[in-house]
Amino acid sequence: MKHFYSNFLKLSFALAGFVLTSAQYSNGYIVSNEGNFGSPTAEISYIDANNNITNNIYHLANNNEALGDVLQSMYFNGDKSYLVLNASNKVVVTNRASFVKSGEITNLEFPRYTTVANGKIFTTNWGDYNAVSQYVSVHDAATLAFITNIPLSENPEEIITVNGKVYVNKSSYRAGNSIDVINPTTNTIISTITLSAGLQSITVVGNDIFALCTGATGSTVYKINTTTDTVSANIANSTIVPPSQYDALKFSSEGNTLYIAGATSVYSLNTNLATFSSTPLFTTTASGNGGDFYGFAAIDGKIFQGNSYFVNPTSTVNVYNQTGTILNTFTTTVGANNFYKNVFTPASLSTAETKLNNTISIYPNPVSDILYIKNANGSQYKIIDLSGRIVKSGVYQNGITVSDLNKGNYIIQISGKNVQQTEKFIIK
């Protein structure tokens, strides 16, 4: 009996230590730092809720192990993060909170972006530079075992999961004009959505995909219905163009607003695509080093800008409000190329009520139609999917309709006079 209690206490302390470690980087913003091509200098930075920054968190979490060469992108799904290393030809899988490595996929060729659907990991690959060999690789999400490759006709970039399907931006360096739609059950391309030339980037709002096409004659934003996989609206602007042939416009979204960054200016338009103004939200002061808005994202009503001048060993990250006032400035490692909100709170799920701060509760959980929050009328809420994307927000009044969202796990943030709480729930 004595040994039982001794072992029990040891296990309890070990679990407590694990919980503290796993929560270390799970309530703030993640910065992906690309690193210099040809060297294993890719890294991750973490900005916490109090605006404190920690650099090299992968290095710190993994016994000084180098992450790799060119961190192209990151993706969150459940309790895992997927780190896509373009020049290292691998995807590193870590715990989403602690960033402790749990595995890696290595049989890749210049991977770009990744997503998870139907228990599988889908990753875009450029393939051999000297051959037409671009593809989407498919691996088992549980075992990381290789399943198959899906050939593509052009070099791919972003890949996203929406409405039970996988969508591939098939236009590297604005050289293409189409999006392939993949059935994640059969691992086959089921349709192709054709847009105008110069497809730059795609982003998701709810169940709609928005695509930005740019070139010397202007920019066009398309809205794509993912039920029919057709264009439902589009709007053009003849004056917003890429800074140069090789410099891109950057595309991001939050709530019902789309954001475009180019050179030193940030533009916005509503997702209804009613107007596309040439007047920027704000214009920044050029750094003088180039690489302005190399990294760009709109998160929590703020604009994150990564100035990456690769001759320097560091990058400057500026955080702006909607009028262009700098709220914070941070220094990260080299090549800050993107920003992600990482809010992950493991929680027990109940079919009845999940209590928050002993004063309010969400129910039912899981939910299929309307989610209720007891004692929260008038509080602000945000519903966030597990990739960190805000899919619904507003002021709570007598229920939130969630039947228009995809089935799966979500996080709800509730902010009111007497409450500040984050909780996990399931849409079934």
Q: For residue range 262-297, what is the model confidence (pLDDT) as tens digits?
A: 889 999 999 999 999 999 999 998 876 666 899 999
Number of C-alpha atoms within 13 angstroms, CB side, residue 84?
Answer: 26
pLDDT digit string (tens) for 339-395?
A: 999 987 654 444 444 444 445 788 888 898 889 888 788 888 889 887 778 889 888
Do 29 and 101 sit in the same domain of this protein? Answer: yes
Contact 182, 150 (CB under 8 A): yes
* For range 25-40, the mean pLDDT: 95
**Structural domains counted in the chain:** 2
Q: Which amino acid is at 190?
A: I
pTM across the whole model: 0.79
With respect to residue 313, please indicate whether it lies within any of the assigned structural domains.
Answer: yes
Buried/exposed 393-421: b ≥16 CB within 10 Å, e otherwise:
beebeeebebeebbeeebbbbbebeeeeb
* Residue 46 bridge partners (DSSP): 30, 54
pLDDT of residue 395: 86
d(CA 25, CA 342): 8
pLDDT digit string (tens) for 75-98?
A: 999 999 999 999 999 999 999 999
Q: Please choose, from the candidates 131, 121, 122, the residue with its C-alpha nearest in 3D space to the C-alpha of residue 155.
A: 131
Do 262 and 382 sit in the same domain of this protein? Answer: no
With respect to residue 191, please indicate whether it lies within any of the assigned structural domains.
Answer: yes
Token pair listed for 337 = 């190329």
pLDDT of residue 157: 97
Domain boundary (291, 323, 343) is at: 343
d(CA 313, CA 341): 24
Buried/exposed 222-244: b ≥16 CB within 10 Å, e otherwise:
bbbebeebeeeebeebeebbbee
Do 265 and 322 sit in the same domain of this protein? Answer: yes
d(CA 271, CA 220): 13
pLDDT of residue 46: 97
Do 38 and 131 sit in the same domain of this protein? Answer: yes
Domain boundary (306, 324, 343) is at: 343
pLDDT digit string (tens) for 108-137?
A: 999 999 999 999 999 999 998 766 799 999
Do 71 and 34 sit in the same domain of this protein? Answer: yes
Q: Is the confidence at residue 7, as pLDDT, over 70? A: no
Q: What is the mean pLDDT of the chain?
A: 88
Instruction: Tell me which of 51 and 131 has the higher pLDDT.
Output: 51
Percent of the chain's residues with pLDDT above 90: 66
With respect to residue 348, please indicate whether it lies within any of the assigned structural domains.
Answer: no
Do 199 and 68 sit in the same domain of this protein? Answer: yes
With respect to residue 106, please indicate whether it lies within any of the assigned structural domains.
Answer: yes
Measured CA to CA in angstroms, residue 195 lies from 173, 233, 256 at distances of: 15, 12, 22
Q: Please choose, from the candidates 333, 205, 323, 320, the residue with its C-alpha nearest in 3D space to the C-alpha of residue 273.
A: 205
With respect to residue 404, please indicate whether it lies within any of the assigned structural domains.
Answer: yes
Contact 424, 409 (CB under 8 A): yes
d(CA 113, CA 91): 9
With respect to residue 184, please indicate whether it lies within any of the assigned structural domains.
Answer: yes
Do 332 and 359 sit in the same domain of this protein? Answer: no
Do 96 and 56 sit in the same domain of this protein? Answer: yes
d(CA 255, CA 72): 25
Do 385 and 248 sit in the same domain of this protein? Answer: no
Q: Is the confidence at residue 6, as pLDDT, over 90? A: no
Domain boundary (317, 343, 369) is at: 343
Percent of the chain's residues with pLDDT above 70: 89
Do 278 and 161 sit in the same domain of this protein? Answer: yes
d(CA 382, CA 423): 11
Burial label, 302 (beta-carbon count in 10 A; 0-12, 13-18, 19+): middle
With respect to residue 6, please indicate whether it lies within any of the assigned structural domains.
Answer: yes
Range of the domain at 378: 354-427
Distance of CA 11 to the CA centre of its chain: 35
d(CA 74, CA 43): 11
Token pair listed for 312 = 């320097």
pLDDT of residue 110: 97
pLDDT digit string (tens) for 305-325?
A: 999 878 788 999 999 999 999
* For range 227-239, the mean pLDDT: 98
Domain harbouring 298, CATH code: 2.130.10.10
Token pair listed for 107 = 């049989």
| Residue appearing with tokens 């960190």 | 388
Domain harbouring 391, CATH code: 2.60.40.3080
Within 10 A of 86 (CB to CB), how many other CB atoms are there? 23
Please report the beta strands in 108-187, taking only residues with DSSP state E, as ranges in sequence order.
111-117, 120-125, 135-140, 146-151, 159-162, 165-170, 178-183
pLDDT digit string (tens) for 131-163?
A: 679 999 999 999 999 999 999 999 999 999 999
Do 382 and 309 sit in the same domain of this protein? Answer: no
